Amino acid sequence: MNHTINRWQLVLIVISFIMGSSLLMAPNLTAFFSEQDAWISMFFAVIIGLCLNVIWILILKRYHFRSIFRITEVAGGKVVGTILNILIIFYALHLASYVVRNLSNFMISNVIPESSPWTFQIMIILLAVYSCFYGLNNIGRVNEFLTPFMILFFICSLALTTNQFRFSHLQPYFEQGLLKISQGAYTTTGFPFIEIILLGSVLTYVKNKDKLSKNYLSGILFGGSALILTVFIAVGVEGAYMVKRQSYPTYELMRDISIINIFERVEVIIGVVWIFGILVKIVICLFTALKGLQHLSKFPNYHSFLLPAGLLIWAMSNHIHTNTMEFTDFVGRNWTLWWFTLYLLLFVVLGLGILRKKDKDIDQHSENSSQ
């Protein structure tokens, strides 16, 4: 089981994590509040997300990018650290279940309506469990190979829609006012820019940590820029009225692409990009939860937790919400606050640890050899 990755693989994992589940939903979540100013909301969300992650990565740097589960115990003590670690594990499993549910909602509403959602849920969870079984290096190498192609397909697909782009759909600018724009930005700040703090469990496995902070933030900047571009083009082509009424506007946008009646159904490409990004996100969530369970149990590896964690994710994904509308409403209204709560707790505990010089003690504490 090899968990070592290089800095380039980290950048691509960050990009896949951000673009994964956000690529199809970001236009709807922002346009619902700010309508034609949705791209401005997305811009503000990226700026806020970058600022929060600059603080986060600087804190982790003070602790020499050790395992987040070890850092919490050193900074907060055994009791507080254990409570925080349990919270991180729960948040990771909870996020994974939401992403799995998001995938099944998409597949049965847009791709294969007559299928059972369980089919897609079980398939994606089995893939994630398989990837985690062979270690972080496995998904890092696969992601390194596929992500550049996925980005190329994504850019080409967006470029093919520009002939339908109308600047009139974006005007008048700032018509909705700063309050509505802020509401749109609020929705997409937590999803995905605060969620990405889970990568604190991954940074310790990067081989060369020189300029690691810049690599991490550059991945966020690229992924965020892709989301801004997606929202901008979606609203410019479809108009805010249509975008805010579609659950997956980016996918619907690609349906209209037809290249001289030869290349059609181009939306399948964007679907594949999205599904692969979702797989990476689920793997990172599952990996984080497994490493946390391994840390708490002091087991030599996390293999014994793979199947129970996978089953728990599957069960949660089917019981968190009764329907798609309830699911989307919760994400739109509560997701950022939900994730900011964890961010704030970690910030306070780790920040106090730095003030108490606990970051100087991190290397004096022996870590589990598997970490």
- For residues 68-88, average pLDDT: 96
Please give the pLDDT value at position 263.
Answer: 59
pLDDT at 100 over 70: yes
pTM for the structure as a whole: 0.93
Residues 6 or more apart in contact with residue 43 via CB below 8 angstroms: 228
User: What stretches of the chain show up as alpha helix (H) in DSSP?
Assistant: 7-34, 38-62, 68-106, 117-133, 136-159, 177-188, 212-238, 240-243, 249-255, 267-297, 303-319, 324-355
Q: How many alpha carbons lie under 13 Å from residue 329 in its C-beta half-sphere? A: 7
Give the distance, in angstroms, between the CA of residue 62 and the centroid of all CA atoms in the same chain.
Answer: 24
DSSP per residue, 148-215: HHHHHHHHHHHHTTGGG--GGGG-STTTTHHHHHHHHHHHHIIIIIIGGGGGGGTGGGBS--TTHHHH
Query: Looking at the predicted structure, is the pLDDT value of residue 262 above 60?
Result: no
Q: Which two tokens stand for residue 260?
A: 């001289």
Structural Rg of the chain based on CA atoms:
20
State which CATH number among 3.90.1150.10, 3.90.660.20, 1.20.1740.10, 3.40.1710.10 fits the domain covering 7-364.
1.20.1740.10
Q: pLDDT tens digits for 323-355?
A: 778 888 888 889 999 999 999 999 999 999 999
Q: Is 304 left (phi over 0), alpha (psi -120 to 50) or beta?
A: alpha
> Residue 35 has which token pair?
């309508």
**Alpha carbon distance 314, 97 (integer Å):** 6
> Between the CA of residue 298 and those of 286, 304, 361, what are the distances in Å?
18, 12, 21
pLDDT at 196 exceeding the cut of 80: yes
The mean pLDDT value for 2-17 works out to 94
Lookup result for tokens 């946008």: 253
Task: Kindly list the distances between the CA atom of residue 157 and the CA atoms of 152, 254, 264, 294, in Å, as whole numbers in the listed order.
Answer: 9, 7, 11, 42
| Residue 371 confidence class, pLDDT cut points 50, 70, 90 | very low
Q: Position 101: which residue type?
A: R
Q: State the greatest distance between any 2 C-alpha atoms of the chain, in Å, as a whole number.
A: 67
CA 336 to centroid of chain Cα atoms: 13
Q: What are the boundaries of each domain within the chain?
A: 7-364
pLDDT more than 70, % of the chain: 95
Bridge partners, 5 (sequence order): 206
The per-residue pLDDT for range 271-291, each reduced to its tens digit, is: 787 888 899 999 999 999 999
The rounded distance, in Å, linking the Cα atoms of 109 and 107 is: 6
pLDDT at 123 over 60: yes
| Residues 6+ away with beta carbon under 8 Å from 356 | none
Mean pLDDT of the chain: 90
